[in-house]
Amino acid sequence: MGGDHGPSVTLPACAAFLAAHPQAHLLLVGRAQALASLPAGIDARRCTIVPAAEVVEMDDPVEVALRRKKDSSMRVAIAQVKDGAADVAVSAGNTGALMAIARYVLKTLDGIDRPAIATQLPNATGGATTVLDLGANVDCTAEHLLQFAVMGSALVAAGGRENPTVGLLNIGEEVIKGNDVIKQAGQLLRSAAQRGDLNFHGNVEGNDIFKGTTDIVVCDGFVGNVALKASEGLASMIGTFLREEFARGPLSRLAALLAWPVLMRFKRRVDHRRYNGAALLGLRGLVFKSHGSADAFAFEQALRRAYDAAEARLLERVQRRIARAAPLMGPPGDATASSAGPSVST
């Protein structure tokens, strides 16, 4: 139901996702009438409609979403994960509400103080850089940054890249740079690396996100959110300028026509929709967040990413890594926390 477009985007995305994943099963959570007539591409035998009477609006305060809308599609979807009916929940709704509800319903893993939001950004190597946190936590301690590094490593390893490198976002590469929290975090990350819990590269700077210097970049949610949104703003401005210049007069439009295949290839390479689908990490269940403005293609990517994470048993990977790094994080966590192991159906 969520996002800027609701079922008009999410249902076509579900159809495409099911076509590409013959083993997958979807629970469609929302208002019965919105889900009454599924698009032709959706095989009704591979979907279960789970009714929810309310919808969390994009501008609902967290308190409203959490306390007043107890039968929201968001909450019911997350409850499916808690109950073991689903392996992972995906939403394009209000991020703050999603995090609060997920935290309330699922609870955090042992050893995790605060869940984090992790997304991928394209980098110059042709791969992607995983960045976390992206706004869930505005004030972080060094221990939180270590937790993010450990959870991010589990996420990237679940994606098939074993022993991924971690960079600590800073304003210089030297160990002495940054504020006290960053310097302490650097020490913790170096200790974790010495113990074999992490593959810590060292400090990285803002440009390293897009250079692809490390697989993972760790930062507090304030910095991560600003860096992400500044990048979105810049990409949008550059795209606008490029379109405007190719539309400036008949000769430019002719040039655009001739350069069309090149421009399309370029567009595909920088298409942020391919990277849609952020992981909420540190909870006792898997939840993925799609961009609110996602179109069907973008939302399908979030579904794929969520499915792949469940299939790669991301939750167990996070738990295992957090348990291993627990001695660095204060009181040891309980690595055997109860949580239904994800199956390949979603």
Distance, in Å, from the CA atom of 39 to the CA atom of 134, rounded to the nearest integer, reads 34
Contact (CB, 8 A) for 122 and 334: no
Residue closest to 89 by CA, chosen among 289, 322, 338, 237 = 289
Angle at 242 between CA 236 and CA 243, to 5 degrees: 90
Q: How far is CA 129 from the centre of its chain?
A: 12
The yes or no reply on residue 63 touching a copy of itself (CB under 8 A) is no
User: In whole angstroms, how close is the CB of 232 to a copy of itself at the nearest point?
Assistant: 5
Contact (CB, 8 A) for 187 and 204: no
The yes or no reply on residue 270 touching a copy of itself (CB under 8 A) is yes
The yes or no reply on residue 233 touching a copy of itself (CB under 8 A) is yes
The yes or no reply on residue 206 touching a copy of itself (CB under 8 A) is yes
User: In whole angstroms, how close is the CB of 30 to a copy of itself at the nearest point?
Assistant: 26
Q: 91-100 in b/e burial notation, b at 16+ Cβ within 10 A? A: bbbbbbbbbb
Residue from 23, 240, 330, 332 touching a copy of itself (CB under 8 A): that is: 240
Give the residue with the Cβ less far from a copy of itself, 255 or 335: 255
Contacts of residue 338, Cβ cutoff 8 Å, sequence gap at least 6: 284
SS3 at position 70: coil
User: In whole angstroms, how close is the CB of 39 to a copy of itself at the nearest point?
Assistant: 33
Name residues contacting a copy of itself, limited to 160-179 (CB under 8 A): 169, 171, 178-179
Give the residue with the Cβ less far from a copy of itself, 263 or 312: 263
For residue 335, count other CB atoms closer than 10 A to its CB.
15
User: Which range binds a copy of itself by CB under 8 A, 83-91, 105-113, 131-139, 320-328?
Assistant: 131-139
Residue from 194, 241, 327, 330 touching a copy of itself (CB under 8 A): that is: 241
Q: β-strands 199-204, 128-132: how paired?
A: unpaired
At 285, list the tokens: 């269940």
Give the residue with the Cβ less far from a copy of itself, 53 or 258: 258
The enclosing H or E element of 167 equals: strand 165-169
User: In whole angstroms, how close is the CB of 329 to a copy of itself at the nearest point?
Assistant: 22
Give the residue with the Cβ less far from a copy of itself, 1 or 131: 131
Name residues contacting a copy of itself, limited to 80-99 (CB under 8 A): none
Contact (CB, 8 A) for 1 and 43: no
User: In whole angstroms, how close is the CB of 68 to a copy of itself at the nearest point?
Assistant: 18
Give the residue with the Cβ less far from a copy of itself, 152 or 342: 152
Distance, in Å, from the CA atom of 214 to the CA atom of 37, rounded to the nearest integer, reads 46
Residues that bind a copy of itself (CB under 8 A): 122-124, 135, 138-139, 169, 171, 178-180, 182, 205-211, 219, 221-223, 225-238, 240-242, 245-246, 248, 251-252, 254-256, 258-259, 261-263, 265-266, 269-270
